[in-house]
Chains A and B, each alone.
Chain A
Amino acid sequence: MASQDITPVGRSSAKASLLYDPKFRGYIFQTITVLVLTGLIYWIVHNTVANLQRAHLASGFGFLDGRSGFDISSSPFLRYTSDSTYITALWVGILNTLTVAVAGIITATMIGFIIGIGRLSHNWLIRKICTVYVEVFRNIPPLLVIFFWYLGVLSVLPQARQSITLPFGTYLNNRGFFFPAPVFADGAWLAGVGLIAGIVGALLVRRWATKRQMATGQQFPVGITSLGLIIGLPLLALAIKGFPLSFDYPVLGSFNLKGGALIGPEFMSLFLALSFYTGSFIAEIVRAGIRGVGKGQTEAANALGLRAGPTTRLVVVPQAMRIIIPPLTSQYLNLTKNSSLAVAVGYPDLVAVGGTILNQTGRSIEVVAIWMVVYLSISVLTSIFMNWFNAKMALVER
C-alpha cells in the first residue's frame, strides 16, 4: 500500500546532482559575481587611467595644498582668503554645511513638534491649519522651497537704503539680515566659564533631584533652577568683570548698513527652506509617535489623578519619544544631506566649494571621494549618537 511505495528519502538525495545542492550553487554564484565584479573594476580602473593620461591629468590628493585662488562669501569660523589652500577651503565648506545643518535641525524640530502636536489638537481650526501646512510642504521639492525664499522673497526685499527696521537694532534688506554683533573685551572669557559651569551645575542639580525624588518622593523645581544657573552664572561672571561686553550696532549709511553682523540671503533661504520642509516631515513623525501611545496609558494616568499637563509630560511624551526617535534620526540625516542644495543658491557649503575646486582643477575623483567620506562620516556619527540616545530612552524591562 501507500507506505510501501515511499522510497527512502536519504538515498535519493545522496544521488542528487551537486547542481541541486543549494550550498554548492551559492558558492558557484558568488564566485561568478566576484569574477564579474573584479573584471568590471579592472576595466573601469584601466579606462580611468587611460583617460587621465590622455588628458594629462595628475591624480592624488597633493593638489589640496595648493593655493585656491577663489573667494568664499561666508566663513564665520575660519580665516579664509583666496590665498588659502584648497584644504582650508574644504574645511570652510564642511563647517558651513554643519552650521546650516545644526541651525536647520533645531528650528525644524521646533516647527515639527508644534505642528505635529497641533495636528492632534481638539481645536478644529488649529488642526486644519497644521494639516494644510504639512500637506503643502511635504509635497513640493525642497529645492523649490529654497528658490522660493531666495528668489521670491529675500531678493525682492527693499534695498539697503530702505531697509526694513526690526526691533533690537536689526535690519532686513536684500543683502540679508543685519544684527548687532557682540564685541567681547578683556575678561569676557569668564562668561564662557560661567556658561559651562551653569550647564554642569544644572546637570548635577537634575541628578540630585531625581535621586531625592526616588528616595523621598519630594519634587524639586529642576527646570527653573537650571534656567537660573545657565543664564545667571554667565551674567554674574560678566558683572564681576564689570560687563566687558558691548554691541556693534549696524548703522544706516547712505548706501549700505555699516557695522553689525550680517546673515546673508543665501544662508537664510537655505536655513528657512530646510527648516520648513523638514519640519513638515517631523510633524508627521511626532503625530504618529503620540498616537502610538496607547489610550490606556492616558486613562491610567487620569485614574491616578494626574492632570492634563503632567499626563502629557510624564506619561505620554516619554513613551512617544521611543517611537519618534528612530525616524527623527533619519530626518536629521536627510536635512544634512539636503543642505547640499546650497550649491543652487551659492551658499558655500561642502558641495559648492568642492564643485568650484572640481571645475578649477578637474580632480573629479578626488573631490567626489572627499564628499563621500565627509557625508558618510556625518551619517555614521549622527547614527551612533542617536543610537546611544535611543538606547537611553528605550524601555527598561525587568
Chain B
Amino acid sequence: MDNNLSFVRTEMLQGQTPPLGERGIVRWIRTNLFATPVDSALTIFAILLLIWFLPGLIKWLFINAVWSGPDRSVCSTVGQGGIQPEGWSGACWAYVNANFNQFMYGPYPMDQHWRVNLVAILFVLLLVPLLIPKAPFKVANAIVFFFIFPIIAFFLLVGGWFGLSYVETANWGGLLVTLTLSFVGIAVSLPLGIVLALGRRSKMPIIKMLCVIFIETIRGIPLITVLFMASYMLPLFLPPGVTFDKFLRALIGVALFASAYMAEVVRGGLQAIPKGQYEGAASLGLSYWQGTGLIILPQALKLVIPGIVNTFIGLFKDTSLVTVISMFDLLGTVKQHFSDANWISPQTPISGLIFAGFVFWIFCFGMSRYSIFMEKRLDTGHKR
C-alpha cells in the first residue's frame, strides 16, 4: 500500500505573533487609555491635570519640606521672619516632629508614657492574633481582649493603684484619646446595637416601641448635639454633688450614638435571614436566646460585616468631634498647637492637618481593607 501521506504536515507551523498594536504594552495603552476619541481626550486631560498638580505636590510634600528644626524660623521665609528664601513653600514636618509626643499622648505626664506604650503593645499583641484567621486560641484570645485587657488598660492608664501615680483623664490627649474612645465605643456599640436590633424586631410592643424611639431619635440628630447633651445636660440629671468625668460623658455619648447606627445595620442582617432558619431553630427545641445566638446571629452578622465595619469607621472618624466640646483628641491636639507661638507659620496648619489626616486615613483604610478580606473569607457561596 502506498502510505505516502506527505501532504499532511508532520510538524506544526509556528503561530505568527500578533501585530504590534494587539500585544503588550501598546495594546494595553490602546484599549485602556485611547479606545475612543472621547477616551483619548479624557486621558490627555487627566495627564495634563496630573502634570499641573503632582510635581508641585511632591515638591511641597517632600523636596521643599523641612523635616526637623528648633522653631518656626525653619518653616518661614525671610519676609516672615524665618530663614527660608522668599517664595519658598513646603511642608513643615519639623512642626510634627517637634510635637510628636504631644500628638500621641497629649499632656500625659512625660515620665509615665511607658504606661501608654505598654497598653499599646498589649493591644497590638492581642489584636493581631485575633485578626489572623489561622492563629490558635481564638476564644481565649477574644475573652482576654474584650474583658481582661480593658481592665488592665484602665488600671494602667488611670493609675492610682499599685504604686502607679494617678493621671486624670483631663491630662489625656492626642491619639491616646482617639483610640480609647474608638475602642470603647466599638466594644460597647456592637453588643448594644445587637440588643437594640433584637428589641426592634421583638413581638413585645412596649420593648419594640422604646427601641424604635431610641434608634430613630439618635439617628435623626447630629453627634454634636448628643455630645452637647452629654456635657451640659447629663450633669443636670444627676443628684446634686455627683459629678461625672468629662471623658466618660463623651464616651457615653459616642457609644450611644454609634449603637443606634449599629442597630440598623444588624437589623438589616436579621431581616435577610429566611423564616425557615427561625423555624428550624425552634423545631430543634432551642429557646429564643439559644436560637438567636447559635443560628440567627452568626448568619445575620456575617451578612452585614461591611456595614458593621463601616459603622466602626464612622465611629472612629466621629471621635474627632470631641474637639468641639473642648477635649483634645488627635485632631484637637494638632489644632491646639497651631497657636503655639513657637511654631506659627503659614505652612504649619496645613502640615499638621495633613499629618492628622494621614493617621486617621491609615486606621480607616486598614479597617476597610480588613473587612473586604474577611468578607471574602467568610463567603460560603450562598450569595446570589
List residues of chain A with CB under 8 Å of any chain B CB: 22, 26, 29-30, 33-34, 37, 44, 47-48, 50-52, 54, 121-126, 129, 135-136, 138-144, 147-148, 151-153, 155-156, 337-338, 340-341, 343-344, 351, 355, 358, 364-365, 368, 371-372, 375-376, 379-380
Please report whether the interface of chain A is mostly helix, strand, loop or mixed according to DSSP.
helix
Q: Which residues of B sit under 8 angstroms from A123, Cβ to Cβ?
A: 32-33, 35, 39, 42-43, 46
Closest to B356 in A: A144
The listed residue (A33, A142, A144, A380) touching B207 by CB distance below 8 A is A33
**B197-215 with Cβ < 8 A to chain A:** 203-207, 210
List residues of chain B with CB under 8 Å of any chain A CB: 31-33, 35, 39, 42-43, 46-47, 49-50, 203-207, 210, 217, 219-225, 228-229, 232-233, 235-240, 288, 313, 317-318, 320-321, 323-324, 331, 335, 338, 346, 349-350, 353-354, 356-357, 360-361, 364-365, 368
Q: Which residues of B sit under 8 angstroms from A151, Cβ to Cβ?
A: 335, 338, 349-350, 353
Least distance between B294 CB and chain A CB atoms (Å): 19
The listed residue (A37, A121, A140) touching B210 by CB distance below 8 A is A37
Q: Given known contacts A29-B204, A122-B32, is B236 in contact with A368 (CB within 8 Å)?
A: no
Q: Which residues of A sit under 8 angstroms from B49, Cβ to Cβ?
A: 129
What are 29 A-B contacts with C-beta separation under 8 Å? A26-B203, A29-B207, A30-B206, A33-B206, A44-B237, A47-B237, A48-B236, A50-B239, A50-B240, A51-B235, A51-B240, A126-B43, A129-B49, A141-B318, A142-B317, A143-B320, A143-B324, A143-B331, A151-B350, A152-B354, A153-B350, A156-B350, A340-B222, A341-B324, A358-B232, A368-B228, A372-B217, A375-B220, A376-B221
- Is the CB–CB distance between A139 and B360 below 8 Å? yes
The listed residue (B221, B240, B288, B313) touching A371 by CB distance below 8 A is B221
Q: Which residues of B sit under 8 angstroms from A121, Cβ to Cβ?
A: 42
Q: Ordered nearest first, which 4 A-B pairs have the shortest CB separation?
A: A152-B350, A139-B364, A340-B222, A124-B32
The listed residue (A50, A124, A338) touching B33 by CB distance below 8 A is A124
Q: Which residues of A sit under 8 angstroms from B232, Cβ to Cβ?
A: 358, 364, 368
- Is the CB–CB distance between B221 and A125 below 8 Å? no
Q: Which residues of A sit under 8 angstroms from B32, Cβ to Cβ?
A: 122-125
Give Cα distance in the complex from A365 to B237, angstroms: 10
- Is the CB–CB distance between B217 and A54 below 8 Å? no
The listed residue (A48, A129, A156, A358) touching B46 by CB distance below 8 A is A129
Give Cα distance in the complex from A135 to B367, angstroms: 12
Least distance between A352 CB and chain B CB atoms (Å): 10
- Is the CB–CB distance between A337 and B335 below 8 Å? no
Q: Which residues of A sit under 8 angstroms from B222, Cβ to Cβ?
A: 337-338, 340, 351, 375
- Is the CB–CB distance between B360 and A141 below 8 Å? yes
List the count of A-B residue pairs having beta carbons below 8 Å apart: 160
- Is the CB–CB distance between A376 and B217 below 8 Å? yes
Q: Given known contacts A148-B350, A151-B349, is B43 in contact with A125 (CB within 8 Å)?
A: yes
Q: Given known contacts A47-B236, A151-B349, A368-B229, is B42 in contact with A144 (CB within 8 Å)?
A: no
Least distance between A383 CB and chain B CB atoms (Å): 9
Closest to A342 in B: B224
Least distance between A130 CB and chain B CB atoms (Å): 10
- Is the CB–CB distance between B324 and A344 below 8 Å? yes
- Is the CB–CB distance between A144 and B320 below 8 Å? yes
Closest to A30 in B: B206
Q: Given known contacts A141-B331, A143-B323, is B236 in contact with A365 (CB within 8 Å)?
A: yes
The listed residue (A51, A140, A142, A358) touching B236 by CB distance below 8 A is A51
- Is the CB–CB distance between B221 and A47 below 8 Å? no
Give Cα distance in the complex from A176 to B249, angstroms: 37
- Is the CB–CB distance between B357 and A144 below 8 Å? yes
Q: Which residues of B sit under 8 angstroms from A341, Cβ to Cβ?
A: 224, 321, 324
Give Cα distance in the complex from A122 to B338, angstroms: 44
- Is the CB–CB distance between B33 and A125 below 8 Å? yes
Least distance between A340 CB and chain B CB atoms (Å): 4
- Is the CB–CB distance between B228 and A358 below 8 Å? yes
Least distance between B261 CB and chain A CB atoms (Å): 10
Q: Which residues of B sit under 8 angstroms from A344, Cβ to Cβ?
A: 323-324
- Is the CB–CB distance between B360 and A144 below 8 Å? yes
Give Cα distance in the complex from A21 to B349, angstroms: 65
